[in-house]
Amino acid sequence: MNHRPVLSVQNVSKRFGGLVAVRDLSFDVANHEMVGVIGPNGSGKTTMMNMISGLYRPSAGRISLRGRRLSDLPAQKIAREGVGRTFQLVRLLSGLSVLENVKAGAVFGHRRRWGRDAEDFAHDMLDRVGLDGLSDAPISSLTYIDQKRVELARVLAGEPEVLLLDEWLAGLNPTELETGIELIHALRDEGRTVVLVEHVMDAIRALCDRCVVMSAGKKIAEGTPDDVLSDREVIRAYLGDDDA
């Protein structure tokens, strides 16, 4: 594996008034690496994703993509630099068809495509997630997992250098969860660079090369999934002192 950092988060903090949501967080993501970010609810994981993708600006620190500083750029410019993301709650354009939603990703993403090229590429990405047969369907007709697949196809259509998946598996039933893990595993096999925020530990073990563990806004552990999930401080963060 090439360990040259593609994404670098250096001493990043985020304050909301007197609340420090993320405190002095640092980690790197190498090319073709899948890094899981885990931790109990309220530990700052989504705030961290929001800073990388430009929804929030860090209060301190630096975020960079292949050495290019991102932390002062607005979200749309960060997307064009090559960072794509999904959200905890699916965000789709309900007035557009499945294909039109994905085509928007191709038009406004990292490598901007137009016209027939954008449409053909959108079909390819829908096929990639198993939905090309629903390209003309309205968003309102889709099941929850299929809405998630459309959102993923739209992000992939932007051809990001780094893909941020924020609890993409949340809310799925056991059968859907298996399908979702297989789909993310295929992204890993393609060599994509992914930061994955997730609570499903089976997925973390199956998918991630390395994990960053957050608690109360701070990084408390980093290493392989097996190492961090057996770390006593990590267990204490999830279960509390008595149960740990």
Q: Domain holding 188: CATH number?
A: 3.40.50.300
183-207 burial code (b ≥16 CB/10 A, e <16): bbeebbeeebbbbbbbebeebbeeb
* Structural domain containing residue 117: 92-160
Please report the pLDDT score of residue 1 as a whole number.
46
Q: What angle do CA 101, 106, 109 make, to 5 degrees?
A: 110
The domain boundary residue, chosen from 139, 160, 181: 160
Give the residue among 38, 45, 42 at the shortest CA–CA distance from 225: 38
The mean of the pLDDT values for the chain is 92
- Identify whether residues 48 and 73 lie together within a single domain: yes
The domain boundary residue, chosen from 133, 160, 187: 160
What pLDDT, in 10s, does the model give residues 49-82? Answer: 999 999 999 999 999 999 999 988 999 999 999 9
Helix (H) or strand (E) holding 235: helix 232-239
Asked if residue 20 lies in contact with residue 14, where contact means CB atoms within 8 angstroms, the answer is yes
The reply to whether 87 falls in a domain is no
The reply to whether 244 falls in a domain is yes
- Exposed / middle / buried, residue 171 (Cβ in 10 Å: 0-12, 13-18, 19+): middle
- Identify whether residues 65 and 98 lie together within a single domain: no
The reply to whether 234 falls in a domain is yes
HSE (CB half, 13 Å, CA atoms) of 52? Answer: 33
Give the residue among 123, 131, 184, 194 at the shortest CA–CA distance from 160: 194
3-state secondary structure of 75: helix
Written as six digits, the tokens of 103 are 């085509």
- Identify whether residues 70 and 96 lie together within a single domain: no
- Identify whether residues 28 and 9 lie together within a single domain: yes
**Region 113-142 average pLDDT:** 92
Please report the pLDDT score of residue 3 as a whole number.
58
- Exposed / middle / buried, residue 102 (Cβ in 10 Å: 0-12, 13-18, 19+): buried
Q: Strands across the sheet with 34-38, in order?
A: 83-85, 162-166, 194-197, 34-38, 210-215, 218-223
- Identify whether residues 186 and 231 lie together within a single domain: yes
- Residue spans of beta strands (DSSP E) within 82-143: 83-85
Q: 133 CB contacts (<8 Å, ≥6 apart)? A: none
- Identify whether residues 28 and 62 lie together within a single domain: yes
Determine the Cα–Cα distance for residues 79 and 224; give it in Å rounded to an integer.
29
- Identify whether residues 126 and 216 lie together within a single domain: no
Please report the pLDDT score of residue 61 as a whole number.
97
- Identify whether residues 137 and 77 lie together within a single domain: no
The reply to whether 117 falls in a domain is yes
- Identify whether residues 218 and 231 lie together within a single domain: yes
Determine the Cα–Cα distance for residues 147 and 145; give it in Å rounded to an integer.
5
Q: Which residue has the tokens 């204490």?
A: 236
The reply to whether 235 falls in a domain is yes
**Does residue 136 register a pLDDT over 50?**
yes
The reply to whether 187 falls in a domain is yes
Asked if residue 153 lies in contact with residue 74, where contact means CB atoms within 8 angstroms, the answer is no
- Identify whether residues 56 and 72 lie together within a single domain: yes
Into how many domains does the chain fold? 2
What pLDDT, in 10s, does the model give residues 11-45? Answer: 999 999 999 999 999 999 999 999 999 999 999 99
